[in-house]
Amino acid sequence: MSRTRTALLAAMALVAGATGTALAAVPGDAGAAAVPCTVDYKVQNQWDTGFTASVTVTNHGAAKSSWAVKWTYAGNQRVTSGWNAKVTQSGANVTASNEAYNATLATGGSATFGFQGSYSGTNAVPAAFTLDGVTCNVDSGGPTDPPDPTDPPPGNRVDNPYDGAKVYVNPEWSANAAAEPGGSRIANQPTGVWLDRTAAIEGAGGKMGLRDHLDEALEQKGSGELVVQLVIYNLPGRDCAALASNGELGPTEIDRYKTEYIDPIAEILADPKYASLRIVTTVEIDSLPNLVTNVSPRATATPNCDVMKANGNYVKGVGYALNKLGDVPNVYNYVDAGHHGWLGWDDNFGASAEMFKQAATAEGATVADVHGFIANTANYSALKEDHFSINDTVGGKSVRESKWVSWNRYVDELSYAQALRQKLVSLGFDSGIGMLIDTSRNGWGGANRPTGPGATTSVDTYVDGGRYDRRYNTGNWCNQAGAGLGERPQASPEPGIDAYVWMKPPGESDGASKAIDNDEGKGFDRMCDPTYTGNPRNDNNMSGALGDAPISGRWFSAQFQELMKNAYPPLS
Residues 178 and 136 in one domain: no
Higher pLDDT, 7 or 99: 99
pLDDT tens digit sequence for 12-25: 333 333 222 222 23
- The answer, yes or no, to whether residue 475 has pLDDT greater than 60, is yes
The active-site residue out of 196, 430, 438, 510 is 510
Average of per-residue pLDDT values in the chain: 88
Average pLDDT over residues 295-310: 93
CB 447 within 8 A of CB 402: no
How confident is the model at residue 244, as a pLDDT?
A: 65
Measured distance CA(347)–CA(344) in Å, rounded: 8
CA proximity to 525, closest of 339, 481, 516: 516
Measured distance CA(286)–CA(291) in Å, rounded: 10
φ, ψ for residue 257 (rounded to 5)?
Answer: -55, -45
In a domain, 570, yes or no: no
State the total domains in the chain.
2
Q: Domain boundary at 141, 156, 173, which?
A: 141
pLDDT tens digit sequence for 225-273: 999 999 999 999 998 987 766 789 999 999 999 999 999 999 999 999 9
- The answer, yes or no, to whether residue 178 has pLDDT greater than 60, is yes
In a domain, 160, yes or no: no
How confident is the model at residue 15, as a pLDDT?
A: 30
In a domain, 322, yes or no: yes
- The answer, yes or no, to whether residue 10 has pLDDT greater than 50, is no
Residues 537 and 461 in one domain: yes
In a domain, 240, yes or no: yes
Looking at the DSSP bridge assignments, the partners of residue 498 are: none
Residues 6+ apart with CB under 8 A from 543: 472, 476, 478, 526, 527, 528, 529, 530, 531, 532, 533, 534
Q: Domain boundary at 141, 156, 181, which?
A: 141
Residue 48 known to be catalytic: no
Measured distance CA(2)–CA(43) in Å, rounded: 14
Residues 134 and 173 in one domain: no
Q: What is the CATH number of the domain that holds 137?
A: 2.60.40.290
- The answer, yes or no, to whether residue 327 has pLDDT greater than 90, is yes
φ, ψ for residue 94 (rounded to 5)?
Answer: -115, 140
- The answer, yes or no, to whether residue 222 has pLDDT greater than 50, is yes
The active-site residue out of 286, 369, 469, 525 is 286
Read off the pLDDT band of 519 (50, 70, 90): confident
Residues 137 and 174 in one domain: no
In a domain, 241, yes or no: yes
Q: Which region holds residue 364: left if phi is over 0, alpha if psi is between -120 and 50, else beta? A: left
pTM, full prediction:
0.74
pLDDT tens digit sequence for 360-399: 999 999 999 999 999 999 999 999 999 999 999 999 999 9
Residue 510 known to be catalytic: yes
Residues 116 and 171 in one domain: no
How confident is the model at residue 552, as a pLDDT?
A: 85
Q: What is the CATH number of the domain that holds 393?
A: 3.20.20.40
Domain hosting residue 32, numbered range? 15-141
Neighbours of 369 (CB within 10 A): 26
Read off the pLDDT band of 476 (50, 70, 90): very high
How confident is the model at residue 139, as a pLDDT?
A: 61
Residues 414 and 335 in one domain: yes
In a domain, 152, yes or no: no
Residues 136 and 182 in one domain: no
Read off the pLDDT band of 533 (50, 70, 90): very high
In a domain, 237, yes or no: yes
- The answer, yes or no, to whether residue 48 has pLDDT greater than 80, is no
Residues 132 and 178 in one domain: no
How confident is the model at residue 34, as a pLDDT?
A: 63
Sign of the dihedral through C-alpha 296, 321, 493, 440: negative
Q: E strand or H helix at 289, and its extent? A: none
In a domain, 477, yes or no: yes
Instruction: Give yes or no for a cis peptide into 329 (omega within 30° of 0).
Output: no
pLDDT tens digit sequence for 505-515: 999 999 999 98
SS3 category, 235: coil
| CB-count burial class (<10 Å; 0-12, 13-18, 19+) for 178 | middle
Residues 415 and 468 in one domain: yes
CB 431 within 8 A of CB 425: yes
Measured distance CA(34)–CA(23) in Å, rounded: 12
Inter-CA distances, 560 with 176, 546, 554, Å: 10, 11, 12
As a whole number of Å, the end-to-end CA separation of the chain is 41
Average pLDDT over residues 104-131: 89
Residues 260 and 214 in one domain: yes
How confident is the model at residue 138, as a pLDDT?
A: 65
